[in-house]
Amino acid sequence: MSGAYDLFQTSENLEASGVWINYGSFAIKIAAAGFGNTEFTKLRTELLKPFRHQIQSGGMSEEDMKGVEQELYATTVLLDWQEFEDKNGEEMECTIGNKIKVFLELPRFYADILRMASDLTKFREEDEAQDAKNSQSV
């Protein structure tokens, strides 16, 4: 039986610097959503400032919240990609605009990033050596 530290301890370095996820024909590098990724928390606070009154009154629209979340993840979680092509087979540059475009066009891909960025098993210290090995093969 594993103890709490075996189950929940992660590498703050990996949470901030990110890990490569290989999808076969392309790869992405993601950081954690929060925790050791302090840029996530800072940017979330900054992006939500204009909506402070709507949030307090329960009036922030779902569309505004989704836009904030997508910008937040495009900027601080999805850090990089390799061999990533658009629907026409053209390689896409890894820009914030392109990431948001992909989030909108491929909502299941976006949902997978949300899931992985919260998956603590992706950011464990023993995976740091494996991540270094994977990034060389990507």
User: pLDDT tens across 83-129, in order?
Assistant: 999 999 999 999 999 999 999 999 999 999 999 999 988 998 755 55
**Distance between CA atoms of residues 89 and 53, nearest Å:** 44
pLDDT reported for residue 111: 96
pLDDT reported for residue 117: 95
> What is the side-by-side order of every strand in the sheet holding 78-82?
19-22, 27-30, 78-82
pLDDT reported for residue 35: 86
Specify the higher pLDDT residue, 20 or 138.
20
| Within a domain: 70 | yes
| Within a domain: 7 | no
Where does the pLDDT of residue 22 fall: very low under 50, low under 70, confident under 90, or very high at 90 and above? very high
3-state secondary structure the chain: CCCHHHHHCCCHHHHHHCEEEECCCCEEEECCCCCCCHHHHHHHHHHHHHHHHHHHHCCCCHHHHHHHHHHHHHHHCEEEEECCECCCCCECCCCHHHHHHHHHHCHHHHHHHHHHHCCHHHHCCHHHHHHHHHHHHC
pLDDT reported for residue 130: 53
| Within a domain: 25 | yes
pLDDT reported for residue 133: 52
Which neighbouring-strand residues pair with 29? 20, 80
Domain count, the chain: 1
| Within a domain: 6 | no
Please say whether the beta carbons of 96 and 75 come within 8 A: yes
- Identify the domain containing residue 68 by its residue range: 21-137
| Within a domain: 2 | no
| Within a domain: 52 | yes
| Within a domain: 102 | yes
Digit-coded pLDDT (tens) for 50-75: 998 888 888 888 899 999 999 999 99
| Within a domain: 11 | no
